[in-house]
Amino acid sequence: MPAARSGAAERTRGTNRPVGRGLRGPRRPGAVQTVHTWQDAGVGISYTHHMAADPAWRRLYPFASHSLVRDGVAQHYVDEGQGRPVLLVHGNPTWSFYWRNLIEPLRCRYRMVAVDHVGCGLSDKPQAYDYTLARHIDNLVALVDHLDLRAATLVAHDWGGAIGLGAALARPTRFRSLVLFNTGAFPPPYIPWRIRACRLPWLGSWCVRRWNLFARAALHMAVARPERMTADVRAGLLAPYDTWEHRVAIDRFVRDIPASPQHGTWRVLEQIERGLPQLEQRPCLLIWGMRDWCFRPVCLERLMAAFPSAEVHRLAHASHYVVEDAHEEIVPILERFLADRSNAGDASPDGDALKTQGVGP
């Protein structure tokens, strides 16, 4: 793995030790408080965190953790296996835990890199931070460069589609193929009322950050097979979002959904949509949970228009958390798609197409 770029440092820990800084917060009854030390550029940094000793959800997520530190903020990711890189980019309110059922079976043949956006998962959760689409794209581009990913397959869901495609447009020579689940890469044609309610002044943030309403509601509203949401799975999806402070990015993601062209993120989404034809020649796989009330079939149709040669799988029995609902069906589809790409050439367009348009750094 290449050394970190100037101004950045990498932190790494062992597989079964809990990550700390992304879960830092006040001690709770029944929690075990532990002090760990990272080595950042040769300087020990101590911090404390609380996490139940050996939480059951960790057995569902048996991956070594890494962090890229930029400007004092650590962005967590997992990097499992060897081979052609597969970059997995989550949305809101999930984190890299969402990809566990793809990482586990595919890491024997591919390098599976799953990122946690700043504010999400096991990444740091600064309170005064620019939680915008443009900043998340910038962070992902920095990670792609740091890891020197080449001929990568982008796998993205929800907000991860706009973030991942923004990164692919900023670094087109690093991406070879695309896999998109229930996402969008254009200004939203609608905002569902369940999300609009979470954007109400004062009350929306209170519900999202005080009661964790957005993440908790998703455990029921985003799945078509509620039996999949076992206690351990629920605990894993919610684990990083255990305090008011740790839910800051969930709230900010909701508020970054643009309702009009006057919103800065609307313009970023327009730039991404205009750039999609530059990715059109890349093999593209669209897998859609058709019972999704958020990213409805109209979003799939717009992506099909942008990628007319895409292979499309409509999963009638799956909802927004499509990988939770249908990972047994998805894995063989993805294995075949990746195998076909491994047997093909490495051709990709030259040039960092949208650097001059403000997408990416």
Backbone angles phi, psi at 348, to 5 degrees: -155, 150
Strands (E) in the chain, as ranges, are 8-12, 32-40, 43-51, 65-70, 73-80, 85-89, 111-115, 152-158, 175-183, 284-289, 311-315
DSSP label of 173: G
Any bridge partners for residue 10, and if so which?
A: 68
| Spatial distance between the Cα atoms of 23 and 99, rounded to a whole number of angstroms | 19
| Active-site hit among 158, 251, 256, 325 | 158
Backbone angles phi, psi at 44, to 5 degrees: -70, 130
| Active-site hit among 138, 251, 256, 292 | 292
Contact 357, 278 (CB under 8 A): no
Check whether the bond before 93 is cis (ω within 30° of 0): yes
Backbone angles phi, psi at 37, to 5 degrees: -130, 120
Backbone angles phi, psi at 278, to 5 degrees: -70, -15
Backbone angles phi, psi at 359, to 5 degrees: -95, 115
C-alpha torsion 271→130→157→88, nearest 10? 100
Told to judge if 292 belongs to the known catalytic residues of this protein, a careful annotator would answer yes
> Which whole-number Å values give the CA distances from 176 to 25, 84, 169, in the listed order?
40, 10, 12
| Spatial distance between the Cα atoms of 164 and 54, rounded to a whole number of angstroms | 32
DSSP label of 5: P
Beta-carbon contacts of residue 198 (< 8 Å; ≥ 6 apart):
204, 207, 208, 213, 214, 251, 254
| Spatial distance between the Cα atoms of 136 and 306, rounded to a whole number of angstroms | 23
For residue 3, count CB atoms less than 10 angstroms from its CB and return exposed for 0-12, middle for 13-18, buried for 19 or more.
exposed
Told to judge if 325 belongs to the known catalytic residues of this protein, a careful annotator would answer no
Told to judge if 352 belongs to the known catalytic residues of this protein, a careful annotator would answer no
| Active-site hit among 66, 90, 117, 320 | 320
| Alpha helices for 1-112 (secondary structure H) | 100-106
Q: Which residues are catalytic?
A: 158, 292, 320
